[in-house]
Amino acid sequence: MKVRPAAVAGSFYPADPRRLETEVRGHLAAAAPPLGWRPKALIAPHAGYVYSGPVAGSAFHQLASGRGEIDRVVLLGPSHFVPFAGLALPVAEAFETPLGDVPVAADAAVHLASLPQVVSSDLPHEREHALEVELPFLQVALERFELVPLVVGDATPEEVAAVLDRLWGGEETLIVVSTDLSHFLDAATAAARDRATADAIVALDVDGIAAGDACGRNPLRGLLLAARRRGLTVSELDLRSSGDTAGGLAGKDRVVGYGAFALA
């Protein structure tokens, strides 16, 4: 079996399994109580856990009732290192984390075969952290699931929404979009910009997410389009920056914004 090895274990999050599970459980435990309904989709950040972990915990804590019910996760995030057109589904059959290997859904390629925007390639996945850092949270929250991992390059909201339509499934399927918000602004400017972005997300305003508002803008806008067409609503769970979560480690002059949202 071809396994995509963990690329950022030991840097973005602990490489030791016990330390990693303890840290993830701590972020989940510190989150506000779940909203009381199971989300169809989540939006969560993807930085190092010291920075974005508390906000990611706010998202994945919503899955408290999903263990044993959700067995497939469609995970989309941006391509930080490899420019390409479309969405990349890996050839790899599993993704490694310190908590174990997560199997890639064997039938995903069949479902997506007729969509020209989907390419089969491991290259965009090799160094990409945007998907990887979400996996330990999903492993702790759900324990067992199969994964449809898609790195999103240059793709329109329509192209992403078409992929989501093929993979939407029922209650057994969760969709997760991995994105951070504003980058390297001072804390006050970031807070204002992220507030506007969060308002656009809650309003399902595809055109309200501008370049620079979110590094995962392409998958995010595709999810919002698909959600709007299906009549979903968005709940804001958390909105903070690295200056809030990491304090002195991050400073307030150049922060990164993080948001957590649930859709149902």
**Residues 121-137, mean pLDDT to the nearest whole number:** 98
Q: Which 3-state string (H, E, C) describes 7-73?
A: CCECCCECCCHHHHHHHHHHHHHHCCCCCCCCCCEEEECCCCHHHHHHHHHHHHHHHCCCCCCCCEE
**Residues 183-206, mean pLDDT to the nearest whole number:** 97
Report d(CA 207, CA 161) in Å as an integer.
14
Paired with 132 in beta bridges are: none
Q: Which two tokens stand for residue 110?
A: 């069949």
Question: If phi over 0 gives left and psi between -120 and 50 gives alpha, with beta otherwise, what is residue 260?
Answer: beta
To the nearest whole percent, how much of the chain has pLDDT over 70?
98
Is residue 65 predicted with pLDDT exceeding 90? no
Report d(CA 210, CA 233) in Å as an integer.
21
Amino acid (1-letter code) at residue 132 = E
pLDDT in tens, 15-60: 999 999 999 999 999 999 999 899 999 999 999 999 999 999 999 9
| pLDDT score for 112 | 97
To the nearest whole percent, how much of the chain has pLDDT over 90?
94
Full set of structural domains in the chain with CATH: 3-146+153-169+198-246 (3.40.830.10)
pLDDT in tens, 221-253: 999 999 999 999 999 999 999 999 986 566 788
13 contacts 133 by C-beta, under 8 angstroms: yes
| pLDDT score for 253 | 87
pLDDT in tens, 71-81: 999 999 999 99
Q: What is this structure's pTM?
A: 0.97
Is residue 168 predicted with pLDDT exceeding 80? yes
| pLDDT score for 248 | 55
Q: What is the largest CA-CA distance in the chain?
A: 50
**Would you list the DSSP string of the chain?**
--EE--SSBTTTB-SSHHHHHHHHHHHHHHSPPP-SS--SEEEE--S-HHHHHHHHHHHHGGGTTTTTT--EEEEEEE-SS---BSEEE-S-SEEEETTEEEEBPTTHHHHHTT-TTEEE-SHHHHS-HHHHTTHHHHHHHHSS-EEEEEEE-B--HHHHHHHHHHH--STTEEEEEE----EEE-HHHHHHHHHHHHHHHHTT-GGG--TTT-TTHHHHHHHHHHHHHHT--EEEEEEEEHHHHSGGGT-SSSEEEEEEEEE-
51 contacts 60 by C-beta, under 8 angstroms: no
**pLDDT band at 121, cuts 50/70/90?**
very high
Report d(CA 173, CA 181) in Å as an integer.
25
